[in-house]
Structure 1
Amino acid sequence: MNDTIDVQVTRPFRARAEQVFDAWLDPAWLGRWMFGPDVRAEKVLHLRTEPRVGGGFSFLVERQGQAIDHIGTYLHIERPRRLVFTWAIRGESDDDASTVAIDIADIPEGCTLTLTHTLPARWADYAPRTRQGWSTMLDALQRLF
């Protein structure tokens, strides 16, 4: 029995791989496409990154009056091709942490990004919601380029 489930989303970008990669590590860029009122009904409280292997991030937002802190640790940083990090909500069980891998490849018009979010199998019912969430964010990032 498989202990995990992969959710995958791919998007082309009319931008250089370096630009798309850097948008994942720069809080100013993250606030334009991943979080905030331009993406969904929420208020950004802080977006902090320490972009190095072993470094962490904290993306604290307020949704419907509730503070939600998306946290993780950078596991692999290979600019501009691959970024891997853990993904969890502060205060939830360590068993609920998942992993996100970003792979970027050049194409003639720019680059293509493939996101693979590996979830614990017990979260399989959330796979469609996870896919939709990442799709919404990647669509917002795509519009910036």
Structure 2
Amino acid sequence: MTARPSPDTVDVTVQRHFSAPAERVFDAWLTPRLLGQWMFGPGVRDEKVLRLDVDPRVGGRFSILVERHGTRIDHVGEYIVIERPHRLSFTWGIAGESDQDGSRVDIVISPVPTGCELRLTHALPRAWADYAERTQQGWAHMLEALHALF
């Protein structure tokens, strides 16, 4: 299952090669210890991870509470698809915002002879279209930090 074009969303796509098996890259998305090293925190941007809760099952939720420039931001979502090691989909939003403002992230990981290729598509609500470039840069930066783990 991947993001489908919709008149209600704007798709942001980022791709990255990893010199690691698909299983290791996939697991870094669902293992709290690893997730906290590359997705948020001082290794990625000027912020501190205050709490990281992950329930890695379909229907399970995650919450990543960070403090950035004195402001607390709780990134939350629900896992929709978990097909290790090839597909992962989840909703993405900020706690306290309307569910309508949420978005969806679809990840496809494909093995290649030198490791794996990851394709991330973030379907943003059309109301957030002005943030598409910033969102793409943010994911690219996070995937670069993930790449550094391997």
TM over 0.5, shorter chain: yes
State the shift of 1:96 in Å: 0.7
> Could you tell me how far apart the structure 2 residues matched to 1:36 and 1:119 are?
23
> Could you tell me how far apart the structure 1 residues matched to 2:78 and 2:49 are?
20
Cα deviations by residue, 1:19-60 (Å, 9 ceiling, x for unpaired): 000000011001111011011000110111000000000000
Q: Tell me the SS of whatever aligns to 1:70.
A: strand
Partner of 2:126: 121
Is 2:52 the counterpart of 1:40? Answer: no
- After superposition, residues 1-145 of structure 1 pair within 5 angstroms as 2-145=7-150
> Could you tell me how far apart the structure 1 residues matched to 2:10 and 2:132 are?
8
> Could you tell me how far apart the structure 1 residues matched to 2:9 and 2:69 are?
30
- TM-score w.r.t. the length of structure 2 is 0.95
Letter in 2 for 1:34: M
Between the two proteins, the alignment pairs up a number of residues equal to 145
State the shift of 1:2 in Å: 1.0
Letter in 2 for 1:15: A
- TM-score w.r.t. the length of structure 1 is 0.98
Cα deviations by residue, 1:39-93 (Å, 9 ceiling, x for unpaired): 1000110111000000000000000111100000000000000000000000111
Cα deviations by residue, 1:102-133 (Å, 9 ceiling, x for unpaired): 10001110000000000111111100000000
> Could you tell me how far apart the structure 1 residues matched to 2:36 and 2:62 are?
13
RMSD: 0.8
Runs ≥4 in structure 1, deviation > 6 angstroms? none
> Could you tell me how far apart the structure 1 residues matched to 2:48 and 2:64 are?
11
State the shift of 1:9 in Å: 0.1
Gaps of 5+ in 1: none
Letter in 2 for 1:18: E
State the shift of 1:95 in Å: 1.1
